[in-house]
Amino acid sequence: LGETYHWARTQDLMQIQEALKPLLNHSILAIGSGGSLTAAHLAATLHEIRTGNPARVFTPFEFTGTNRTRTSDAILLISAGGRNHDVLGALSEAIRIESPWTTVLCGTPRTPLSKLAQKNEYGSLYEYSIPSGKDGFLATNSLLAIYALLLRAYAAAGQDLPNTLADVLDAPNLTSFYERSSIGNLAKLVGKETLLVLYGWETKGAALDLESKLTEAALARVQISDYRNFGHGRHHWLAKRRGESGILALSTPDDRDLCKRTLALLPDEVPVVVADLSGNSPQRLLQALLYAYAITAHFGAARAIDPGRPNVPEFGRKLYHLRIRNRRSTGNDICSIAVQRKTRASKAPIGVPTESWVLRLREQLGFFRDQYFKGLVLDYDGTLCSAQNRIKGPAPDLIALLVKLLDSGISIAVATGRGRSVREALQQCLPEKYWRSFWIGYYNGSDIGNVGENEKPDRSENPVESLGIVCEDLRCDTVLTDTCKLSIRRNQLTIEPHSWLTGSALWLRIQERLNCLDVPGVRAVASTHSVDVVGPGVSKRNLLSFLVVHSDIASDDYILCIGDRGRWPGNDHELLSHKYALSTDEVSSDPYTGWNLAPEGCRGTRATFFYLEQTEILQGRFRLLFKDSMK
């Protein structure tokens, strides 16, 4: 345990914090089973404390067993082994229902869980490997490791855990800590068949873990309750079964007085032990977990059972490997999935009639089948380039489909909030002969050039007058300057978070500043990685009028638009309000355009690939031919 703690205490936190960062502005569902369920409870507690956003805890079966067709919650999935069918099913379900983000923490590298997580464009993965190797039946080292890592990752800036396990315990070893912290008759307590565990908010995780360990090793019947819920009827157990029962009270400075007053009212013949925990809050959370380890060992010694090697029966192994019945996929019913996405965006409750949505969708499909396009405008990040390949650029299979369109004379342009990094990436993956006919709308369409124009974009750091006013105001916001990087261009300010202020919370803060300033024509739009403040007249739709003029296209009705951030204030909202537009992820509530017609769980660049595969290409034009399942 000491070596495991030292390992967790000295790990670089950058990777786990980057994996958790996309969750910070969401409510989350924390998922785990066995020992990882304890870690999920800790993560949920820390998430609520750190962010103020709600967090709920599920086992994989509770999560997959719900008839869930949508979720606005992000997912945090914790697994030590990464191979169990339950946890794999939970990740598959999170992908299927298109969770905004799914973070996986896996204590074993290169597992089936890790491989599935790496394929998810809307997810992050943190893999780690503890020095003690594979855990025993009760997973003590892996749980201590993830406990310490989570406490460090969620800690405020400048805070960290004590240097050694002895410092955590304020004792030379676990045995001396256990004996010193235990107030009461331990021998009588471990001799009882039923253990009632009372806990406060800091010690709930330890109570859950103790219940799990004593039950899994068949050492005792365990009931757990917080101090006040115990007073709402659970105390009656002692009125009828006091002779077979003992009480363990996990006590910290926050609940010490309530603990004393509660125990003072209980029958004298019931043996009581108080685990007296001290130190700061993260230290007490670790102390409580380690105390649960120690008392489990004592229950095992009293019964001559090794809790880590309880001789699992054959039927138990079969139960462990039992699979949840797979949910019947609706992957072929793309119409139904598309309507669900739109009703979700409009905040319509489940069960609201959808006939009008279906009618609008059929109209859209008819428009697409009847229309030939001569131009294509795509968003870049999240549409043409995945988050994992943000530096490398679009995948070869997508480039191959775009080349087919270019060969037939189709005009193509990408709209991005970024600058020259997009041109450099496209120059790496796109054959040079196509550079002059492939356009880029830099900084949300404010500066347009082809892939071969190395002098583009204009990188001037002198903003137009209206943006200059906003820039000075944002520089006076110390929260923004402390948590974000501000990049200045002539027609765009880019605010990139490097701390806790991300996503919708960052956009809201900037929008508040803009509302106070009331500068005409200036807007804030959100991308996957940043918030952009753009000047008057700046729009990704500028690319449509540009192609009409420069590519001999009669009108923008002959241009198809594809993007991923169609829901306001997403930076593709305006682009996807075009009559002929498709989303690869988020959709607006507008039933007349901007539909996501990709299969269930297919998002981002995979959705773009799906759309482009549906094209019938003729000389100088193309159309979309969606399959019969969409009629």
The closest of 197, 296, 317 to 251, measured between CA atoms, is 197
3-state SS class at 559? strand
Looking up tokens 């997009």, which residue turns up? 422
pLDDT tens column, 294-312: 999 999 999 988 887 777 7
Q: How many whole angstroms from its chain centre is CA 529?
A: 14
List, for residues 539-554, the tens digit of each pLDDT value: 999 999 999 999 889 9
- Quick: pLDDT tens for 178-214: 999 999 999 999 999 999 999 999 999 999 999 999 9
Which DSSP category does 70 fall into? -
Give the containing element (helix H, strand E) for 247: strand 245-251
Tokens describing residue 150: 């989570």
Residues β-bridged to residue 248: 197, 273
**Is it true that the peptide bond before 569 is cis, omega within 30 degrees of 0?**
yes
**pTM listed for this prediction:** 0.90
CA 382/CA 258 separation, integer angstroms: 52
**Along the chain (631 residues), what's the average pLDDT of each consecutive run of 10 residues?**
95 94 92 93 94 93 78 93 92 93 95 95 95 80 95 84 94 93 92 95 94 91 95 90 94 95 94 93 94 94 84 77 63 80 84 85 90 96 89 92 95 95 95 95 96 93 94 93 92 89 86 92 90 95 94 92 94 95 95 93 95 92 75 46
Instruction: Give me the helix-helix angle, 334-345 and 355-370, nearest 10°.
Output: 120
Q: Which two tokens stand for residue 538?
A: 């700046």
What is the number of other CB atoms lying within 10 angstroms of the CB of residue 193? 12
Which residue from 231, 289, 291 is spatially nearest to 261, judged by alpha carbons? 231
Rounded to the nearest 5°, which phi and psi values hold at 563? Answer: -155, 175
- Angle of helix 281-302 relative to helix 140-153, nearest 10 degrees, comes to 170
Beta-strand pair 531-534/492-497: antiparallel
Polymer length in residues for the chain: 631
Residue 597 near residue 334, CB atoms below 8 Å: yes
Burial class (CB in 10 A: 0-12, 13-18, 19+), 24: buried
Q: What are phi and psi of 46, to 5 degrees?
A: -65, -40
Write out the two tokens for 215. 């039950």
> What is the per-residue pLDDT across 333-383, written as a single tens digit (0 to 9) for each?
788 899 989 988 888 777 777 888 899 999 999 889 889 999 999 999 999
Helices (H), 496-619: 503-517, 542-550, 605-613
Straight-line distance from the first to the last Cα atom of the chain, in angstroms, rounded to the nearest whole number: 60
